[in-house]
Amino acid sequence: MDIYSYIPDEEYPKYDGFLSFLGMYEDHRRITNYRRGLKRFRHLIKKKVAVEAGAGFGIFTEYMLKLGASRVYAVEENELMLKLLKKKFANEPRVKIVEGLIEDFEPDEEIDFLVHDFWGSLLYDENLISLERLKFKPKVVFPDRGELRYGVFKLEAFNDKIVTPEVLNLLEGVLVSDLIPTRELPLKNVAYRWKFGRGLKKAKDALLEDGEVLVFGIKILHGTDEICRSHYCYNWPYIWTKRVGKRFDLTFWEREPGYIEPKIKFFETESGS
């Protein structure tokens, strides 16, 4: 969603954040799979104290109440989301709305369960870093694991009329979402793993196969249970770029506190130089 009108710089993040998160509520598979996962772990929620980190519309706060949570802290930083949350839970004494960053939240009781959706399309390019900076220690974080996976594909296999070899050549070093591909792809290799408590770990890299398009996608897990994966849950589109070497190095850097951006570079030789 794009903003078409002029908005002063200081107001912009509020609207931009709000609008960019609205679209995710149209991904019904994300919602269904998250709810299914929460239901499976309802014994960890019933009569317990829970947190929804980055509560958004509070749909999982609502669901945890349904599963019997005794109290839910809905922590949110976006002031427009907060207005909606306050209205939604105005008559629900079991919900405490907390305004601000989850990193600054210091509950004065033990937290049994924390649910979040801080996954970026490249795994770490959204808010997972916030969970590494918590001032409290939830007994369970749901979902607790994620993988960034990749595969190389031939451009001709997509039969795309827009992304021709000439277009692809112009996108060297650029990570792109959407346009292609439009079907589910087997992403056999793992680039990174993230686990709550352990953080982000780079996996051993594999030599890239022939093919012009390098495609990335994520898998969200709790323990060994898959909660969502890119494309199937369309909130996380595949991210692709032109493959220009035998190996790649994808890194994440914190441009400013809390804002993570990915960078990719390729190596022509098999030894990675």
Ligand X SMILES: C[S@@+](CC[C@H](N)C(=O)[O-])C[C@H]1O[C@@H](n2cnc3c(N)ncnc32)[C@H](O)[C@@H]1O
Q: Which is nearer to ligand X, 152 or 227 (CB)?
A: 227
Q: Which is nearer to ligand X, 84 or 190 (CB)?
A: 84
Q: Which is nearer to ligand X, 104 or 249 (CB)?
A: 104
Burial label for 115, CB within 10 Å (0-12, 13-18, 19+), is: buried
Q: Which residues bind ligand X (CB under 6 A)?
A: 17, 21, 24, 52, 54-57, 59-60, 75-78, 81, 101-103, 117, 127, 130
Q: Which is nearer to ligand X, 21 or 248 (CB)?
A: 21
Q: Which is nearer to ligand X, 12 or 154 (CB)?
A: 12
Residue nearest ligand X, Cβ-based = 54
Nearest CA to 57 out of 30, 24, 8 is that of 24
Q: Are 215 and 160 in contact (CB under 8 A)?
A: no
Instruction: Quote the least distance from Cβ 221 to ligand X, whole Å.
Output: 16
Strand intervals (E) in the chain: 49-53, 71-76, 95-99, 113-116, 140-142, 145-153, 176-177, 189-195, 199-202, 213-222, 225-229, 239-242, 247-256, 259-267
Instruction: Quote the least distance from Cβ 190 to ligand X, whole Å.
Output: 23
Instruction: Quote the least distance from Cβ 44 to ligand X, whole Å.
Output: 17
Q: Which is nearer to ligand X, 24 or 140 (CB)?
A: 24
Longest dimension (CA), the chain: 63
Asked if the bond preceding 143 is cis, omega within 30° of 0, the reply is yes
Instruction: Quote the least distance from Cβ 78 to ligand X, whole Å.
Output: 4
Task: Give CA–CA dist 250/257, Å, rounded.
Answer: 20
Q: Which is nearer to ligand X, 112 or 212 (CB)?
A: 112
DSSP string, 53-83: ES-TT-HHHHHHHHTT-SEEEEEE--HHHHH
As beta bridge partners, residue 193 has 147, 201
Instruction: Quote the least distance from Cβ 26 to ligand X, whole Å.
Output: 11
Q: Are 183 and 151 in contact (CB under 8 A)?
A: no
Instruction: Quote the least distance from Cβ 5 to ligand X, whole Å.
Output: 21
Instruction: Quote the least distance from Cβ 129 to ligand X, whole Å.
Output: 9
